[in-house]
Amino acid sequence: MPGTGAARLRWQRLWSSDHSGDRGFGRPRSLPITPVIQIGGFVASVSFAGLISPGLYQFNVVAPPNAPDGDNALTAQYNGAKAQSGTLLTIQK
């Protein structure tokens, strides 16, 4: 979302306790606890976090203003579990 610092992120099978086997999925479901999303080591503002289809999570975030331009490590933690490492998000202000 150019110029706003906002991004829509999607991850599949983030945690071992994901809901990829859910049947009868009808509409997106918000997670009961907001995950901690970091971009470049800085906490991003999360406006939505939820399961949008079986095994597919969506996070609507605003990049922290102090995240530097270029490739930044993207991390997610939810209820003590961490998402896979090695994901990068490019920031351009």
pLDDT in tens, 65-83: 999 999 999 999 988 888 8
Name which of 10, 16, 8, 5 is nearest 42 in CA terms.
5
Residue 60 belongs to some domain of the structure: yes
Strand ranges inside the chain, DSSP E: 6-12, 29-30, 36-39, 42-43, 45-53, 56-62, 70-78, 81-82, 88-91
Residue 52 belongs to some domain of the structure: yes
Q: Residue 84: pLDDT above 60?
A: yes
pLDDT in tens, 10-57: 777 665 454 444 555 567 788 899 999 999 999 999 999 988 887 788
Domain around 67: 6-91
Alpha-carbon distance 22 to 42, whole Å? 33
Residue 1 belongs to some domain of the structure: no
Residue 47 belongs to some domain of the structure: yes
Residue with tokens 């800085």: 42
Residue 29 belongs to some domain of the structure: yes
Total of domains in the chain:
1
